[in-house]
Chains A and B, each alone.
Chain A
Amino acid sequence: MTDDKPGTGPLLCGKCNLPLETGKVMVSYMGQSFPVELARCSACGLVFVPEDLAIGKMLKVEQALEDK
């Protein structure tokens, strides 16, 4: 793993070469959907999910939905 945490510098969309902007993105699991604030490309819509979110809050919500 790198010492430099992702997101320390500005994030660019590799395709459009535009900086990612924070916006609402719908995420869904087990038939449920929620809006989440995520960085994404305003042009092509490419979304970035940072590691700490994926293995942290997102995982907790996934597990809670699985146990419903």
Chain B
Amino acid sequence: MTPEQQSGSMASAFFALLRRDLLLAFRRRTEMLFPIVFLLVVVSLFPLGIGPSPALLARIAPGVIWIAALLATVISLDGLFRSDFEDGTLEQFVLSGHPLTLISLAKILAHWLVAGLPLVLMSPLLAVWMNLPIESLGVMVLTLALGTPILSLIGSIGVGLTISLKRGGQLLSLLVFPLYVPILIIATAAVMAASDGLPYTAFLGLLVAGLITSVTLAPFAAAAALKISLS
């Protein structure tokens, strides 16, 4: 087999896997709603917990929405590799000769499309609930659009490491939340800057840099983690 043919089959493997994961998610579409409902419930608890003062809500809105998105991502992450690990599909992937890194990347992308993108799409509603100034709404959506893929990418490493544990989900949050700290800081800072009428493009640039770095590094680490978990 020539190298050209091999890379061709790698691309088709990537898209076959992406298509399959999306189809599987569609077959269980009610489960797709859980993270979104979770996000809505968590955010709605804040006005109930600290009072409906519009000024106060606007002040904490970026942090609240982002932390809710973080939590929603982590509860959805467990499904990233779980079923493929448990029914032996992952072993088939290892034996297929395709790099596990590529397989991880396809699965992470599918996970983001199913669990991350809906969070981004829901965020305008949350922003309205939390009385976020309308001029920072666009920045809020943008930070989530750039940030949630990073959450899926970094999260995939944690899932890869905990997948062989029966109760891996509880440990997962301990593993990934510290790693999420920089994203939380930068993203909320961007939204706050926009609310205060300050320049925010530098923050978005940092998020783009983070996205590029995690796209290049995280799938390798996730693949290594899966390899360890399979042993």
A and B are interacting partners = no
A residues within 8 Å of B by Cβ?
none
